[in-house]
């Protein structure tokens, strides 16, 4: 049995829940005593929580992807760009291959920034 994916919560839904939570915190009381708390609790639905979790998971995946890309870019700089610049400074006649290394860095960065489902 497959479970359908849970849609991420929208910015608007998140802002609404945040406003309701702020109002409930600002006016604490028993569940029956606080209209704000009642309103907030009435919005805490499994799909809202699942949407928040989906959004968190997506943000975690983005952070991991960006971290991997940054590591790859640093490896390109340390392994290729720095030695090539050193070769240029030392008078090596043909160092145009540095552009290939720059293109590789561009590809890594662009791939990391592509939206992923």
pLDDT tens-digit series, residues 5-48? 566 677 887 788 777 777 666 665 554 566 776 776 777 776 67
2 pLDDT exceeds 50?
no
Hey, what are 83's tokens? 């030695």
pLDDT of residue 4: 44
Hey, what are 26's tokens? 């600002």
Report d(CA 98, CA 85) in Å as an integer.
8
With cut-offs at 50, 70 and 90, classify the pLDDT of residue 94. confident
pLDDT of residue 1: 36
**Which runs of consecutive H residues, i.e. helices, occur in 5-115?**
11-26, 35-43, 46-76, 82-89, 98-113
């Amino acid at each position: 049995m497959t479970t359908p994916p849970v849609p991420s919560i929208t910015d608007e839904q998140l802002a609404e829940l945040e406003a309701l939570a702020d109002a409930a915190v600002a006016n604490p009381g028993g569940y029956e005593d606080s209209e704000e708390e009642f309103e907030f609790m009435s919005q805490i639905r499994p799909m809202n929580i699942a949407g928040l979790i989906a959004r968190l998971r997506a943000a975690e995946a983005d952070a991991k992807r960006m971290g991997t890309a940054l590591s790859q870019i640093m490896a390109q700089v340390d392994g290729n760009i720095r030695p090539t610049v050193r070769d240029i400074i030392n008078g090596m006649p043909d160092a145009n291959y540095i552009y290939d290394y720059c293109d590789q860095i561009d590809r890594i960065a662009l791939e990391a920034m592509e939206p992923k489902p």
